[in-house]
């Protein structure tokens, strides 16, 4: 019996989508307004889901307090009120698209989740635009 436990979280961050090795014209063509050199912000919403067997002793798949603390320590502390391009080493050479942010979040959390459990991260960049990653 596989059960999924999810925790929602939130952070505000600024970013700019561009490639250093492309001209301004090429970056504008592909990334449009997201290539604004002065950056722009998003209210990112995050759903972290852990799937696995219910522990017969506790009745939990994962203690939500533990999951909440992991997200706080490894994601919110690292990303909230940051400029992703300038302040977060993970995006030094990685374009901080919703896709790449989602993968980085998954990679940061995966070591702390039991190997018997599956991890899925869904990241909302806007209320209508969201991406998911589950390690494949
Ligand atoms: Ni953006």
> Is residue 78 in a domain?
yes
* CATH number, position 76: 3.30.479.10
Cα separation, 62 vs 58, whole angstroms: 9
Tokens 């909302």 map to which residue? 124
> Is residue 33 in a domain?
no
> Is residue 52 in a domain?
yes
| Ligand 1 center to 31 CA (angstroms) | 9
> Is residue 71 in a domain?
yes
Q: What is the pLDDT of residues 100-129, one digit of tens each?
A: 999 999 999 999 999 999 999 999 999 999
| Ligand 1 center to 57 CA (angstroms) | 44
The confidence band for 130, taking pLDDT boundaries of 50, 70 and 90, is very high
Cα separation, 86 vs 46, whole angstroms: 21
Q: How many domains does the chain have?
A: 1
Confidence (pTM):
0.96
Active-site residues, by number, are 34, 81, 125
> Is residue 64 in a domain?
yes
**Strand order across the beta sheet in which 118-124 lies:** 82-83, 3-15, 40-52, 118-124, 130-133
Q: Which residue segment(s) compose the domain that 89 sits in?
A: 2-14+42-133
Return the beta strands (E) in 1-136 as ranges. 3-15, 40-52, 82-83, 118-124, 130-133
């Amino acid at each position: 019996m596989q059960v999924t436990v999810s925790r929602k979280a939130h952070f505000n961050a600024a970013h700019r989508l561009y490639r250093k090795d492309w001209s301004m014209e090429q970056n504008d063509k592909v990334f449009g307004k997201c290539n604004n050199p002065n950056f722009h912000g998003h209210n990112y919403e995050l759903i972290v889901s852990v799937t696995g067997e219910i522990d017969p002793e506790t009745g939990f798949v994962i203690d939500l307090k533990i999951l909440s603390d992991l997200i706080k320590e490894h994601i919110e502390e690292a990303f909230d009120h940051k400029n992703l391009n300038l302040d977060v080493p993970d995006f030094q050479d990685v374009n901080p698209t919703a896709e790449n942010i989602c993968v980085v979040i998954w990679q940061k959390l995966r070591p702390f989740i039991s190997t018997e459990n599956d991890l899925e991260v869904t990241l909302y960049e806007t209320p209508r635009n969201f991406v998911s990653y589950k390690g494949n």
